[in-house]
Structure 1
Amino acid sequence: MRFGNPELWKSLSFFDRFLAVFVFLAMVLGILIGNFANEQVQRHLNGGAKWGNVSIPLLIGLLIMIWPPLSKVEWECLPRLLKSRDLWVHLTVSFVLNWLVSPFIMLSLAWVTLPESALERERVGVVLVGVARCVAMVLVWNGIAQGDRDYCAILVVSNSILQMVLFAPYALLFANILCRSPTLTTPTLHLDYGNVAQSVGIYLGIPLVAGGLTRWIVCTCLLPSRRAKFYHIWGHVSGIGLLYVITVLFANQGKHIITHIGRIFRICVPLLLYFIIVWSITFFTFWRIRTTSWGRTYSSYEKAVTQAFTAGSNNFELAIAVAVASFGADAPEVLAATMGPLVEVPVLLLLSYLALYLRDRLNWSTKSKTGSDL
């Protein structure tokens, strides 16, 4: 198979090229640690210093995961982009996809694939992943697929702001009402609004401020050539934080994972279906409407792929953080949320290359043509 840029794979760093493998290895390492050193893990993770109901070591890792990607957002482009009518149309489309469509698709898939009362808490964890809209990793997938970088940046900013306002009530609605079975009696399944709001402020607000400040310092103090080198190195910090957090969480869940391996595979099913379905619907809808009067103005490959990855990916870092803060690090909800990166990373990486293939394979002309578009 030949992608649009045959040198793209070679241009990726070693870490980015094998990120999915590293995630898998981190999970395996965590499971091994959890099974062979479970007592020490529980003592240090659950018995040590905490802030916001999360252990300090885990808290640091969660913050580091989100900070570097947000520092890459081109905040300085906001004034120019906000003057574009095209932008506001795409912001509206993004809002509909991210907040009115995608969470309910995840909810439906969670109920269809995890309907049993015994999987109630896992279902909540899966739905939390669907409610946490992507603000970080979409920058990676959009870059690989060569989407519109400026639009991706503004959609990331928009989703970041919207999550500060909407995530807490959405999490309460989905976890307390829409995910509940008629036989639910366990009070620990309830999300506390204060905990959720605090988690959003800690795990999203702090990285947002830090990311904007980092961007300002870098643009002020470094030449463009130095900036590129800095961001190249700085970007790996987020990946290291991700691997660290996954290792810690799976070490804490190690024994539970081995004991309930069947549940792990069950949890992966709705996540896998979600990423593929939402991405495909968005991408191919933009492709199909390109010859309409609306599509000729607002639809292009770059815009389509940006919207597809924004709608089809999730902020699993925030989902994990909220699950840990609300239910505890060893809860089934956390186990379900931590499956997000295992499924999302390899699936969306493959979809990134599929997008490049379809860019050349499909006809993206906005002029109506007879016959096949392929």
Structure 2
Amino acid sequence: MSAPTRDEASVVGKLSTLDRFLPVWILAAMAVGLLAGRLVPGLGEALGAVAVDGVSLPIALGLLIMMYPVLAKVRYDRLDTVTGDRRLLVSSLVANWLLGPALMFALAWLLLPDLPEYRTGLIVVGLARCIAMVIIWNDLACGDREAAAVLVALNSVFQVIAFGALGWFYLSVLPGWLGLPTTGLDVSPWAIVRSVLIFLGVPLLAGYLTRRLGERAKGRDWYEAKVLPGIGPFALYGLLFTIVVLFALQGDAITSQPLDVVRIALPLLLYFAVMWAGSYALGRAVGLGYERTTTLAFTAAGNNFELAIAVAIATWGATSGQALAGVVGPLIEVPVLVGLVYVSLWLRRRLFPATDPALEETRRG
């Protein structure tokens, strides 16, 4: 990677301290969570005592706080420009609902053939397409906010329709065809609907109403100049809080079963890298610009860990290997996708120079 130009450095210099040192804060949040979960007796049980749809209440609150500011930034009157982009919509459906589950199934069986509980948990993670944290990664990578809102809504609809059927296929039907052991998945469609309504519906409605009422009161310019800067930082505050709680909940399990965590982490690392790179290449191949290529890549690479954890707990229990695999998912996803945010911004300078503000400024100068 080449050194940044003076103009690029000036752009970075305009970022807030929180944005500029995000990897540092995330690593610190991980460390704080791990230490707290390991050293504070009963902390994990206390954090997990109250749950929303199978997910710890503090995590649920962190996710809602994290998503609300980004969804308040979406210009909802521009969504029709996304729904008319068939290349983007078809590419997203193919990546999320054909390639993603199939890739996770293959990696889980190849790398965890002797660990059926973890293998099943990872397959469930692969079936749960992202509707929450991807909003943050897309925004940090300067993706298309309106496209992200449409794609997560599309994933939500397909999640309600297809999750149960795909679980039956990948855990019972396909292994049987291949002569492999089969597993059942008993999940209520209403549980999936609840997950969608809580983790997407609530912040989406709040974000829409905030923009609608703000613009109606004083206009778009005022709303984007005064309101958004005030609520914007709470997205990253919510992200860091969620990370601390996630690691605190599983601090003891992670540190007491390090080899198991490594075994679970390897297929996850490969999954996130392959899904992101493959979807990015797909976006380029079908002629999408930087913003929508980035949005496609992150929405395909991320997973709905809230739903995966809830399903694993409801089906196999909170102390099961399937539940541990579900929890390790976001612990690997967070640092990997943060790294891919920076990869995406680097690729913007190389593959989409017309969209890079630093290089535009260089050319004008």
TM-score tier by shorter-chain length is 0.7 to 0.9
Counterpart contact for 2:124–2:167, Cα < 8 Å: yes
- Tell whether 2:242 aligns with 1:242: no
Q: What is residue 322 of structure 2 aligned with on the other side? A: 333
Provide the rounded CA distance (Å) in 1 between the counterparts of 2:51 and 2:161.
Answer: 25
Q: Is 2:194 aligned against 1:205?
A: no
Gaps in structure 2 of 5+ consecutive residues: 355-365
Q: How does 1:144-159 map to 2 (within 5 A)?
A: 144-159=140-155
Q: Deviations over 1:137-168 (max 9, x none)?
A: 44444444444444344333333433343345
Residue by residue over 1:245-289, the C-alpha shift from the partner in whole angstroms, topping out at 9 and shown as x without a partner, is 3333433322222221111122221121112112222323444x4
Aligned to 2:299: 310
**Unmatched 5+ residue regions in structure 1?**
290-294, 366-374
Query: How many Å separate the matches in 2 of 1:32 and 1:355?
Result: 32
Paired position in structure 2 for 1:277: 274
Residue 62 of structure 2 is matched in structure 1 by 61
Q: How does 1:1-374 map to 2 (within 5 A)?
A: 1-2=2-3, 5-39=8-42, 41-42=44-45, 44-46=46-48, 48-82=49-83, 84=84, 87-117=85-115, 120-171=116-167, 173-174=169-170, 190-223=186-219, 224-287=221-284, 289=285, 295=286, 298-323=287-312, 329-362=318-351
TM-score, normalised by the number of residues in structure 1 = 0.76
SS in 2 for 1:38: coil
Alpha-carbon distance in 1 for matches of 2:197, 2:229: 27
Taking the aligned partners of 1:131 and 1:302, their CA distance within structure 2 comes to: 25
Query: In the aligned structure 2, how far is the partner of 1:301 from the partner of 1:355?
Result: 9
TM-score by length of 2: 0.77
RMSD: 3.6
**What is the alpha-carbon distance in structure 1 between the residues aligned to residue 239 and residue 317 of structure 2?**
19
Distance in structure 1 (CA, Å) of the matches to 2:309 and 2:352: 40
SS of the equivalent of 2:42 reads helix
Given the superposition, is the C-alpha separation of residues 231 and 255 from structure 1 closer, same or farther in structure 2, using an over 3 Å criterion?
A: same
CA shift for structure 1 position 106? 1.8
Q: Percent identity?
A: 39
- Judge conservation of contact 1:54–1:324 (CA < 8 Å) in 2: no
The one-character-per-residue Cα deviations of 1:216-266 (angstroms, maximum 9, x if unpaired) are 233333543443553344343343333333333433322222221111122
